[in-house]
Structure 1
Amino acid sequence: MLLEVNNLRTHFFTTRGVVRGVDGVSFTLEKGNVLGLAGESGCGKSTLGYSLIRLVPPPGKIVEGRIELDGMELVSMSENEFRKEIRWKRISMVFQGAMNALNPVYTIGYQMMEPFKYHTDIPESEAKESIAKYLEYVGLDPEIVNRYPHELSGGMKQRVMIAMALLLEPDLVIADEPTTALDVIVQAQIINLLKKLKKDLGISLIFITHDLSILAEVSDRIAIMYAGKIVEIGDSDRIYRDPKHPYTQKLLAAIPRVHEKVDKLEFIPGAPPNLANPPSGCRFHPRCPYASRICREKEPERTILSDGREVYCHNVSG
């Protein structure tokens, strides 16, 4: 097992109260697998990704839980040790919005050289060879090292970010909505690139998105998040074919189908809850068509189904 996360809680301490961005999340990821993480905007997906690489922006803080990478506990590790030994060497991230992630005043080559200067002592010539190798791998001309970010298209910037995440050959790459703000053709190219990474390099990937139709292309397992919690996690085929949690059912019913006749698309009434003051019991109960008294009063416990899926719902039995 490459990654084990247990009861992770990341809270934001604001003047209006404590916002529970990630509130008791547990999951595992095997080597070479892709975990898709989906849910509505504001459900805590990106916060979970930033927690794994320990880059939660202030006033956020990991307050509880364990993150183990190959048996090493990361939460208790000092910031200096984590920065030198884990971040970018063992876990890297493709940040959401490559337009904002790249520094506009430095060339692409200068920014790609930084991880080598900080984490390794290899000669500059060898580092440049590695940069050229990964730029070619993601379908870019190595000559773009001399360009500035504003000279590249959105898709090219996203490919640069993916190449940067691969430079030190980490065990785990976290891709935070890598297809956001890209047109459909470029989205397909990025998805194909991620599939190629999995096949050729055997890397483990956490793919964060709100688009379930994209996850179907790349994920071995899928975790559905709602209001800071995972509500269903399991094999991707089983979740797509037979979703168990009402939230997962509604999300999938909102996706147009090409090969199936659908009378009308579903929608989820209401809005996601305020994570500074979440609902009692099951956090989805104000929007759930099957909610009963116990849903309003008691938080659901984990139910493990016969196919290995984990579902957090009072109306699901093992």
Structure 2
Amino acid sequence: MLLEVEGLKTYFYTSKGIVKAVDNVGFKLNKGEVLGVAGESGCGKSTLAYSIIRLVPPPGRIVGGRISFMGSDILKMPEEEFRVKVRWKGISMIFQGAMNALNPVYTVGDQIAEVLMLHRSLTKREALQEAAELLKMVGLDPRRVRSYPHELSGGMKQRVVIAMALALRPPLVIADEPTTALDVVVQAQIMNLLKRLQRELKMSIILITHDMSLIAEIADKVAIMYAGKIVEIGSSDRVFNNPLHPYTRALINSIPSLRKELKKLEFIPGVPPDLIQPPPGCRFHPRCKYVFEPCSKEEPPMVEVEPGHYVACWLYAKR
């Protein structure tokens, strides 16, 4: 087992109240697996990613739970030990919006080299040579080590950020919306690049996106998040071919299909709940067309409906 998250709670303490951005989330990830995390904007996907790499921005705090990475509880590690031993060496991250992730006043080579100089104690010259090799690995001209971010296109910047995340060959990479603001052609190139690198380097990936079609393309397992909680998790085949939670069904049925016969597209009425005062019981019940008596009173437990396929819904818990 590479990563095991149990009962993770990350809250933001604001002047208006406590925002329960990630509330009692748990999942497991094996070596070499790709986990896709999907859900609407504001459901807690990115906060989950920042919690795993321990970079939750203030006023956010991890207030409960356990994150076990390669057998060690990384939430109990002192910050300096985590920075030296785990962050970037064990778990790295492709941040959302490469345009904002790169420093405009340094060359991309310097920004990749900094990681190598800090963690592997390379000289500046050795680190720049390694940076050039990393750029080549992600399909860029090695001479781009001397380029500044403003001299690169959106897709090229995204490749630089991927190269930076892979600099220390970590066993786990978190990709937070890696294709945001890119056109469909570049999106496909970036996803093909991630698939190739995952296969060659045998690394695990947590892919965070609201695009179900991207997850279908690359993920082995799928976790569906809603209002700070995972409502369904299972293998890609099971979740896409037999979605159990009404929210998962609506997400999948909102996507036009090219291969199947024409179907009526679904939409989800209403808006996601306020996470300062989430609705009682199942958090999806105000928008659910299958709502019945216990949904608005009690929170549904996570139950295994078929091997490895879990759902938190009273439609199945009552059985």
Task: Tell me the TM-score normalized by structure 1.
Answer: 0.98
Which residue of the partner structure matches residue 89 of structure 1? 89
Matches of 1:209 and 1:157 in 2, distance apart? 19
Q: CA deviation at 1:127?
A: 2.2
8 A Cα contact 2:222 2:233, kept in partner: yes
Which residue of the partner structure matches residue 178 of structure 1? 178
SS in 1 for 2:58: coil
Matches of 1:118 and 1:227 in 2, distance apart? 38
SS in 1 for 2:81: helix
8 A Cα contact 2:110 2:128, kept in partner: no
Q: CA deviation at 1:316?
A: 1.4
Which residue of the partner structure matches residue 187 of structure 1? 187
1:143 is aligned with what amino acid?
A: R
1:214 is aligned with what amino acid?
A: L
In percent, how many aligned pairs have the same letter? 60
Deviations 1:147-204 (A, max 9, x none): 1101100000000000000000111000000001000000000010111011111000
Deviations 1:89-126 (A, max 9, x none): 11000000000000111111111111112212133343
Matches of 2:36 and 2:126 in 1, distance apart? 34
Which residue of the partner structure matches residue 206 of structure 1? 206
Deviates more, 1:128-137 or 1:217-226: 128-137
Gaps of 5+ in 1: none
1:41 paired to 2:41:
yes
* Structure 1 stretches of at least 4 aligned residues deviating more than 6 Å after TM superposition: none
Matches of 1:293 and 1:104 in 2, distance apart? 55
Deviations 1:244-296 (A, max 9, x none): 00000000000000011233210000000010110000000000001112000
Deviates more, 1:36-45 or 1:305-314: 305-314
Which residue of the partner structure matches residue 274 of structure 2? 274
Which residue of the partner structure matches residue 246 of structure 1? 246
Matches of 2:95 and 2:254 in 1, distance apart? 27
1:264 is aligned with what amino acid?
A: K
Matches of 1:178 and 1:130 in 2, distance apart? 23
Matches of 1:302 and 1:216 in 2, distance apart? 23
SS in 2 for 1:239: helix
Matches of 2:296 and 2:197 in 1, distance apart? 44
Deviates more, 1:121-130 or 1:290-299: 121-130
Matches of 2:13 and 2:102 in 1, distance apart? 28
Matches of 2:175 and 2:303 in 1, distance apart? 28
Matches of 2:255 and 2:263 in 1, distance apart? 12
Which residue of the partner structure matches residue 69 of structure 2? 69
1:197 paired to 2:197:
yes
Which residue of the partner structure matches residue 226 of structure 2? 226
Matches of 2:19 and 2:165 in 1, distance apart? 30
Matches of 1:202 and 1:217 in 2, distance apart? 17
SS in 2 for 1:316: helix
Q: CA deviation at 1:16?
A: 0.3
SS in 2 for 1:257: coil
1:196 is aligned with what amino acid?
A: R
8 A Cα contact 2:109 2:132, kept in partner: no
Matches of 1:109 and 1:259 in 2, distance apart? 43
Q: CA deviation at 1:128?
A: 2.5
Residues 263 and 34 of structure 1: CA distance in aligned 2, closer, same or farther (over 3 Å): closer
1:73 is aligned with what amino acid?
A: D
Matches within 5 A, 1:5-24: 5-24=5-24
Matches of 1:214 and 1:52 in 2, distance apart? 22
SS in 2 for 1:188: helix
Deviates more, 1:186-195 or 1:121-130: 121-130
Which residue of the partner structure matches residue 53 of structure 1? 53
How many pairs align? Answer: 318
Q: Alignment RMSD, CA only? A: 1.0
2:254 is aligned with what amino acid?
A: A
Matches of 2:145 and 2:196 in 1, distance apart? 23
Matches of 1:134 and 1:179 in 2, distance apart? 20
Matches within 5 A, 1:273-312: 273-312=273-312
Q: CA deviation at 1:76?
A: 1.2
2:104 is aligned with what amino acid?
A: P
Deviates more, 1:28-37 or 1:73-82: 73-82
SS in 1 for 2:258: coil
Gaps of 5+ in 2: none
1:316 paired to 2:316:
yes
1:118 paired to 2:102:
no
